[in-house]
Amino acid sequence: MICFPNCKLNLGLNIVEKRVDGFHNIETVFLPLALHDVLEIIPAESTSFFQSGIPIPGSSSDNIILKAYHLLKKDFKQIKDLSIHLLKNIPTGAGLGGGSADGTYMLKCLNSYFNLNLTSNQLESYALQLGSDCPFFIHNKPMFASGRGEIFEPIDIHLTDYFILIINPGIHINTGWAFSQLKPSAPKKSIKDIARMELSQWKYELFNDFEKPVCTNYPELNNIKSELYKIGAVYAAMSGSGSTFFGIFKKEIMGEIKNLVSNETRFKSNKLFFTSQL
C-alpha cells in the first residue's frame, strides 16, 4: 500500500497562552499543500523501517512513523509485521509539518490496510498522541485551529489563481527553543477574521509570532521575506516555527518567477519548491 503524506503552511500563527499541562494554546490557519512524501507499507516477516530522500536527523527507531505503528499495534493485535519505506521529499525541521503528516498518514494507512474501522474522531485522538499538529492531517483541508492546534473550524481559503513558492534555507529550528523565545499573549484581532480578508490585506495584518525571534537568532533569514515581496509575492511569511518561508504569487507569472529564481545567485543556497494549495 502506498500513500502520499502532504505538508502544510501556517497562515499566521499566534501563541496565545501557556497551559498548565506545559503545552501552548495557539491560533492559526492550516493550509494543506500539494508537496508530498511517499510512504509504502508491505507485509513482512518482521517489522523494519527504511528511509530515503532527504535525511531525517536522529535515530530511525525514533521516527514518528514507527511511533504511529506501535501506538495502534498496542490496541489492535490484527496489525501484523510490515516493511515500511519512506521517501522523504518535504524538508525536515522546517515548519511544514512533514513529520506530523508522515505519522498521521501511517495511522490512516494502518486503519485502511488492516480494516480497523476507526472513525475520524478516533484517528484524531491517536494523532494527538503523536503531536499537536498531527490531527490536522486527518481533515487535510483549510482549517482555523485553536487549542493546542487540535480544535478545528473549516475556513474558506481558495488559492486556485495562485501558486506558492517555498524557500527552505536548510536551517533546522528546534520547536522547543522557538517557544522559549516567546511571551504568549492574546492577539488584538483573530487570525480567523484576518484570513477572511482579501489576500492583498494579509501583508499588513497576518503575522507569525515565531518570525521575529527566529530571524533575530538567525539573521541570514532576514532577507528572504523581503526578497519574496521584491519579486512579486502578494503575501510572504514564515511557516510554523521556521525556518521555511513561502510566497503566494499570481499564477500568471509562474514562468517568470521560475526563470528568475533559477538564474539568480541570491536563491542558489536554498531549496526551492513550487507548489499549490492541495
225 is catalytic: no
At a CB cut-off of 8 Å and minimum separation 6, what does 26 contact?
13, 14, 15, 16, 145, 146, 147, 148, 149
Catalytic residue among 37, 88, 108, 133: 133
The enclosing H or E element of 130 equals helix 120-130
188 is catalytic: no
135 grid coordinates: 490531527
Q: How many Cα neighbours within 13 Å face the side chain of 10?
A: 32
Catalytic residue among 8, 88, 108, 225: 8
Answer whether 162's CB lies under 8 Å from 265's CB. no
CA torsion sign for 59, 135, 54, 177 is: negative
Measured between alpha carbons, how far apart are the two ends of the chain, in Å? 21
Quick one: which of 13, 17, 59, 38 has its CA closest to 241?
Answer: 13
CA distance 23 to 55: 28
Answer whether 246's CB lies under 8 Å from 166's CB. yes
In this structure, which long-range contacts are made by residues 150-154, counting pairs with CB atoms below 8 Å and at least 24 apart in sequence?
A: 150/124, 153/192
Answer whether 116's CB lies under 8 Å from 4's CB. no
Q: How many Cα neighbours within 13 Å face the side chain of 235?
A: 26
The DSSP output letter for 188 is S
Q: Which residues are catalytic?
A: 8, 133
